[in-house]
Each structure stands twice: as structure tokens, then as C-alpha cells.
Amino acid sequence: MKRVIVGLSGGVDSSVAAYLLQQQGYEVIGLFMKNWHDDSVTISNECPWLEDSNDAMLVAEKLGIPFQVVDLSEQYKDKIVDYMFREYELGRTPNPDVLCNREIKFDVFLKIALDLGADYVATGHYCRKGTLEKDGEEVYQLLSGVDGNKDQSYFLCQLSQEQLATSLFPIGELTKPEVRKIAAEQDLITADKKDSQGLCFIGKVRLPEFLQQKLQPKEGVIIQVPGDSEIYNRSIPRFADKEAELEYLSTKYQYTLDSGKVVGKHQGAHYFTKGQRKGLNVGGTKEALYVIETDVVENVIYTGEGKNHKGLYRNVLFVTNDELHWIRTDLALKNGESMEVKAQIRYRQKHENATIYKTKKGLYVDFENQQSAITEGQFVAWYLGDELVGSGVIS
């Protein structure tokens, strides 16, 4: 009998995942990961992790499976929290959820599970795993979840073949309403529980307050750049080759204090991210202002009016070699090769047509349509059909 350790989060998805595995004849053990407990930055007196671990325990009791809590907060702090501060300080916008899956759930947690004699770990992610035979080897695929509204394959875009080999995603074939229905039929306490929002670990914490613990506020100016600025009328030179053209098109617009007028003040450029419009507190414009660029060195935020402002849009982004990752290593491009793909640059974005080009320096993603707010530090993932084959950090 194969043993599976399920990461029970106290939510409905992982609860149903555990139930389904039990029905499929696995020996199931529930483990709750305690990732964060710094009460100084929670917003309310609610203690989310206690409530969640309690719900997870009640689900395990109901299913009659062993249950325990593992405290991973040390590893969490080292691998996720410090990474977030580092990225924000560099003026990049991290994605802790993607990293949490790569570094915690499918690494630290996976090792604990294997030490407990597990054959697999399972989570309540809406995605599927496929297997194919290639040159006599088994190759694992990460496929989109059947529920288009809830597909979470993007969050797993950094997993490796080794990690996929020992992973199961029991609810990937189901839609959210079907999952809730099963939970209700089995009388699981999590059946009607709301989906958790916010960062995978901080629970009910507001990001700026969290960041202020490490990144000191410092006042700077907010500049509004006109939509018809000369900056956007650059004449496109003639290029020696495709790589030179891609390099040019992936380069960000360069702004200076003279690029527009001062319209307000902020408390730290590193608290802001591209495409953001909340928290600027600048009035007097017809349409909302959006952040089009942040400069953490000079501590300046550049904004543009309206979500169609030219400063928000680009077609090409770049991923450096050391931040490039292939789930399907057998499909990895060699220098000079290209591939037509569907790509996305944020969770819940619809897949966009793009071509990826591999060069000596890294990989370019060239979108057919302009993309809004391409943000450094976020992950771009590319698909062939419904299979996620690779990803990288936008540089």
C-alpha cells in the first residue's frame, strides 16, 4: 500500500484531496505546515494559523487519518521572508507563492514526508500531473487544472522533474464547485470555508506594514509622466540581428526627474510595484494614476494617467540564464533556437501568444500583443497547449 502525506492547510481543497486519496486506496497521513508566527505583524487578534491547523485536525479526525503539525517557520524565514525583503529592496516584486512551492512545500516538506516513509506528497492544487515515456525514461508533465477559473499550475512553475515524480494533485480533474460538493457530502468542516487570500504565509497581514519592519520609510516624490512624452516616440533603429532587436525591445523606458511633473510624495519607492494604483493618494486627474516605474536608488515613483498609458506596455521581456527553469528539461532550447508558446506573466492572466528565443545571455519572451506592467521579480511561465514546460524570473 502506497503512503501519501497530504499537506492539510485547513482549507477545502486539501481536505478533499486527502479524502480522494483515501478512496483510491492510499495510506494517507495529514501534515499541517506552520510557516509563520510573528504576532507583531498580524492585523487582527485572529490567529489564522491556529484556526487553520485546528480545521485541518478536525478533517483528519473525520477521515480517520493520522495528523501532525510540523513547524517550518525557521526554514520559512530563511527561504521566503528574507527573499521577499531582498527583492523589494532591489526594487523587484517577488512572488512568495511560487517560491513557497519550490522551496517549502515541495522541498523541505517533501523531505520530511520521504523521511516518514512516504511514497508521495499531495496538495490541494488545481493542476494535473501527466507522465510520458521518452527514450525509455519516464518524463513528468505539469498540466493545467480542468477548472479554468482556478488553474494553479502557474504557482508550481518552478518545480523540477524530481519534485513532480513524488507529487500527486488529486483535485486537478475537478472544478471548485465539485470539490465543495464532495466536502459537503463527507460532512467536512471546511466545506464552506472561504478561500484564503493574501500571501501564502503571512495570513492576515498587510504588505506595507510587513515591509516596514525591515525597509525603513523614506520620503520621495511621485512624478507624473505625460502619455505623449517624447520618451515613447523613440525611432526604432535597424538591427544587425534578431537578438539585437529583442534586446532593444526588452529594455525599459528610462525616466528622470525631468520626465514629468511632481504630483505628490510617497514613503518609499520599494513599497510600490509596477501597475499599482492604490496607495498613491494623488488626486486631481481624470483617470487614476498607475505606477509605470519605480527607482529605488533615487527613491522616485513614476506614474502615468489611465490604464492605457504607454509607459505600462511592452512586448518583450528577458530572463537571465541563472533564473531560467525548465520543467521539461528535454524540451529546453539551445542557443539560437526559438519556440512558439502561450505565456503568462501573472496568476489568473489568460495565456497569451508568444515566441521564446534562447540566446547566450538568456531567454527572451516576445509577446504577440503588448503586455501591461511587466514586473521584474515576477515569474513568466510558458505553456505548450495545457502543459507548463518552463518558467523564469522577469529581469
Catalytic site positions: 100, 200
Q: Give the DSSP per-residue string, 145-161.
A: -S-TTT--GGGGTT--H
Whole-angstrom CA distances from 207 to 270, 277, 351 are 11, 15, 28
Find, among 64, 67, 66, 56, the residue nearest to 12 by Cα.
56
The whole-angstrom separation of Cα 35 and Cα 213 is 18
The label of the residue with cell 494533485 reads: 169
Angle ∠(191,192,197) on CA atoms, nearest 5: 110
Is residue 141 a contact partner of residue 384, using CB atoms and an 8 Å limit?
no
The whole-angstrom separation of Cα 156 and Cα 315 is 24
Go through the chain and tell me how many residues it has.
395
Neighbours of 211 (CB within 10 A): 19
77 CB-near residues (< 8 Å, 6+ apart): none
Q: Which three cell numbers stand for residue 51?
A: 484556526
Instruction: Tell me the backbone φ, ψ of residue 7, rounded to 5 degrees.
Output: -75, 95
Strands 352-358, 67-71: parallel, antiparallel or unpaired by DSSP? unpaired
